[in-house]
Structure 1
Amino acid sequence: MKNVSLGESQKVKRKITILTGAGMSADSGLKTFRDADGLWEGHDVMEVASPQGFRSNPELVLQFYNERRRQLLQASPNAGHRALVDLEKKFHTHIITQNVDDLHERAGSSRVLHLHGELLKVRSTAPPFSVYHWEKDLYLGDVCEAGNQLRPHIVWFGEEVPLLPRAASITSEADILIIVGTSLQVYPAASLLYYAEEGVPIYLVDPRPALAPTPGLNLHLIPRKASEGVPELVSQLLDQGN
């Protein structure tokens, strides 16, 4: 692993990057992405998670996210979320999440980058794209100061992922990469794996890992759900850091 010297007695903390997906929040009762049948809470994802869907039926889209927002406000971080907070005691950690919930923040993690947006935020539909914290229902007629309709602050299918370059940079600096609860099938987020330096230990926590050990990939599989596997892994890493 990298070991950067700051002097004779002080050294930089090792950097851990954590990439989390829907499985991270599953034990909190949230479905943050589509099911295996291509549906998201009974809806075709393109109906509720695309610019075309919003133009076609904005009422349906807004109601869909209103329901997700209400559900989120009733949810709580699980043991996996809480365990990741403990890593900050000895490591420089950064969470890159595909999830749109705020459970990492509520658990206490201080550096969280949301690749696909945030459910508890909304933004205007025309420049300058003002962003607002939002916990109530959102309806047609709710507008920004400039009079433009508000929409969920979510990166929909077909839209650019503006934070991807930042996420790639964070991943490239990692001494350890932890992947939790993601199928690694959704691009461009899945491409982050390949920004890790060669030889960096990669820990994949998922009951059905989508990756298999291959030559040249320093991969460690933990076939457990997040609320079980993450606390176990964190405990091991903290012990190694002593």
Structure 2
Amino acid sequence: MVFFHKNIEYNFPSSLSEFTLGQRIAFDNMYSDQIKELQESVFKKDENGEDIEADEIDVMLMTIAIASMNFSFFSGIPLQEVQDEISVDDVLNVYYACFHQINEQQESLELESEFVWNDEIWNLEAPELSYESKITFNELITSKQIVKQMSEVSASNWQGLLFLCAIYLKKENEVFNEAWMQENSERVQLMKSLPMDIALHVAFFLQSSMTSYMKTFQSLKAVELAKDPI
């Protein structure tokens, strides 16, 4: 979406493919604490842990504040300037036309495992486990770490997703390299430019695979106990 301010053209993303995982991480680093504080101040609970009905004006003000943060981040216009010089209607129009639409798109993603990115084919390689597998202690430790990583992703830990993409999204015939896991490795830096639609497919695909992985593991455990009960 195009928006003009002081005769300068600004372009806002209107789909998941138009902004990157690196931008998502940067936005969270800049604003996630403020947004969390806003949400906690508006959506409160009583002494029994039940939701208290939020004040409509407070909800509206929170929405405008979050919309302004999105507007500022993706335009590069300082937040104070957005709040002082750009009308609320303009800010909300951009927010609902772009970022709100992106959130809805995120909810309707269908699982895929092959993508074209940078003119190359990339594939998702999920953890695999079968009844024929011989599970080692190291594999169990690895699976525990994967479960931890997946829970971090579900809690919107986008930095964690960055490393999961580095591990599981590969070009044909690529083999995992431990050097990829270094904080500033070339691989991690590359994944910062990954479009968010692909990044979210990685998260959803691995969550689905991990659920299947753990169910299979529990079945294997039951079979082994039946063969050789303690």
Give TM-score, length-normalised by structure 2: 0.30
Q: Which has the higher contact order (CA 8 A, sep 6+)?
A: 2
More strand per residue: 1
TM-score of the pair, normalised by structure 1: 0.29
